[in-house]
């Protein structure tokens, strides 16, 4: 029974479960033997035993094996020879846990990198589909009701983020201590980095939808989604952003394959076209703002959300090692500037004190 309970879907989870179950049984039988020698079996000693066992299991962070501490204690304290029963139960649990761990070592479980990559790609498909649909419906003449649906759908993407994060955690656990995952260790960092990029893109998309909703509700300003000149630019911009997000999602699933170079080229091409439409829309928005200065806030929010989305895709598509090197370089640069600033301050204080000491009298 212990061997069946110990075996999990990942090798790391199997090792963790085995250690927790052995520790819970050992703690439980030790507490039971102590109670049996001190007070014996009574109704109140049994209650104290259960409470103490659960408390120790919680303090030792035994996870799902906490109840096993109390169960082992109750099975041992009620027999005629608690010491022999405790030794036998601990020994049997150790054998069962060892068999379960050995089974996973000899037959390593599969890694779950591909399902995690597919989950990230599905998230990218949701974002790209939303962006393309927004552009298409803007061209068809979207109103406040449709803009409200855009914002609601953008907020629902947060639920998908939770599911993707769970898939990534499962993939990371499957790579730990697994011989099959030695060649895929870089996938752990890659998937987490791509996931964070899409999370930032989801936030930017939600801000974009919020701005579009305000543009449809506040019809008293010059910037409107029904503008005949602005509509084609916004449609092309959102369509290219959708293509960029789609290409980014395909990069995740083909990260370790030669086809990733083609996907990066598609992403760069989509971002380049999106910048062209963005500049065209910015010129039109600038002309509308000059006519009505009250609309500068919404126009700026719209362009800021678009720029943030493109920047996240551009930076997030780089290899994680490159982003980490850039971050470390930036941190070292900030550290050097901080040390230089403190050194200059110390030198300034010393220079001020030297003339004061020279001008002061001998009594001072």
Q: How far, CA to CA in Å, does 64 sit from each of 24, 101, 210, 300? A: 10, 17, 43, 52
Grade residue 328 by pLDDT with cuts at 50, 70 and 90: very low
pLDDT digits (tens, 9 = 90+) for 254-294: 654 545 566 778 888 888 888 998 888 888 888 877 776 76
* pLDDT score recorded for residue 95: 92
* pLDDT score recorded for residue 335: 54
Q: What is the 3-state secondary structure (H, E, C) of the chain?
A: CHHHHHCCCCHHHHHHHHHHHHHHHHHHHHHHHHHHHHCCCCHHHHHHHHHHHHHHHHHCCCHHHHHHHHHHHHHHHCCCCHHHHHHHHHHHHHHHHHHHHHHHHHCCCCCCHHHHHHHHHHHHHHHHHHHHHHHHHHHHCCCHHHHHHHHHHHHHHHHHHHHHHHHHHHHHHHHCCCHHHHHHHHHHHHHHHHHHHHHHHHHHHHHHHHHHHHHHHCCCCCCCCCCCCHHHHHHHHHHHHHHHHHHHHHHHHCCCCCCHHHHHHHHHHHHHHHHHHHHHHHHHHHHHHHHCHHHHHHHHHHHHHHHHHHHHHHHHCCCHHHHHHHHHHHHHHHHHHHHHHHHHHHHHHHHHHHHHHHHCCCCC
Tell me the pTM.
0.67
Query: Under 8 Å CB-to-CB from 120, ≥6 apart: which residues?
Result: 164, 167, 168, 191, 194, 195, 198, 249, 252, 253
Mean pLDDT score, 239-252 = 86
Q: What token pair was written down for 100?
A: 């379960």
Contact 171, 113 (CB under 8 A): yes
Grade residue 323 by pLDDT with cuts at 50, 70 and 90: very low
pLDDT at 185 over 70: no
pLDDT at 326 over 70: no
- Top-confidence range, 49-58, 136-145, 227-236, 314-323: 49-58
* pLDDT score recorded for residue 319: 63
Please state, for a pLDDT cut of 90, what percent of the chain lies above it. Answer: 3
Cα angle 122, 125, 128 (rounded to 5 degrees) comes to 155
pLDDT at 252 over 80: no
* pLDDT score recorded for residue 329: 42
Cα angle 311, 316, 318 (rounded to 5 degrees) comes to 115
* pLDDT score recorded for residue 127: 92
- Top-confidence range, 34-48, 130-144, 213-227: 130-144
Longest dimension (CA), the chain: 94
Residue 10's φ and ψ, nearest 5 degrees, are -125, 155
- Of the candidate ranges 35-44, 103-112, 142-151, 271-280, the one whose mean pLDDT is the lowest: 35-44
The burial class, CB within 10 Å (0-12 / 13-18 / 19+), for 302 is: buried
Query: Under 8 Å CB-to-CB from 278, ≥6 apart: which residues?
Result: 237, 303, 306, 307, 310
């Amino acid at each position: 029974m212990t061997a069946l309970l110990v075996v999990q879907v990942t090798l790391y989870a199997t090792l963790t479960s085995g250690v927790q179950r052995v520790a819970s049984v050992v703690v439980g039988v030790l507490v039971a033997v102590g109670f049996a020698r001190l007070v014996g079996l009574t109704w109140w000693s049994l209650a104290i035993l259960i409470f103490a066992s659960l408390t120790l299991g919680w303090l030792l962070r035994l996870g799902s094996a906490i109840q096993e501490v109390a169960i082992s204690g109750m099975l041992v304290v009620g027999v005629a020879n608690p010491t022999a029963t405790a030794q036998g139960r601990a020994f049997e649990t150790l054998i069962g846990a060892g068999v379960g761990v050995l089974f996973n070592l000899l037959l390593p479980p599969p890694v779950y990198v591909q399902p995690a990559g597919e989950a990230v790609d599905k998230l990218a498909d949701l974002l790209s589909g939303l962006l393309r649909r927004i552009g298409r419906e803007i061209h068809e003449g979207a109103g406040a009701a449709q803009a409200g649906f855009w914002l609601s759908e953008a907020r629902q993407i947060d639920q998908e983020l939770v599911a993707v994060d769970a898939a990534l955690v499962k993939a990371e656990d499957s790579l730990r201590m697994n011989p099959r995952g030695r060649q895929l260790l870089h996938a752990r960092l890659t998937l987490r980095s791509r996931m964070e990029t899409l999370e930032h893109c989801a936030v930017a998309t939600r801000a974009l939808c919020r701005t579009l909703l305000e543009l449809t509700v506040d019809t008293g300003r010059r910037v409107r989604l029904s503008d005949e000149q602005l509509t084609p630019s916004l449609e092309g911009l959102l369509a290219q952003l959708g293509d960029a997000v789609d290409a980014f999602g395909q990069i995740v699933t083909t990260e370790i394959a030669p086809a990733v170079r083609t996907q990066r080229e598609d992403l760069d091409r989509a971002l380049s076209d999106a910048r062209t439409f963005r500049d065209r829309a910015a010129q039109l928005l600038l002309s509308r703002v000059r006519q009505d200065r009250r609309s500068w806030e919404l126009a700026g929010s719209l362009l800021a959300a678009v720029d943030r989305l493109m920047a996240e895709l551009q930076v997030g598509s780089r290899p994680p090692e490159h982003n980490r090197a850039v971050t470390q370089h930036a941190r070292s640069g900030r550290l050097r500037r901080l040390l230089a600033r403190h050194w200059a301050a110390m030198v300034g204080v010393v220079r001020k004190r030297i003339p004061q000491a020279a001008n002061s009298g001998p009594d001072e």
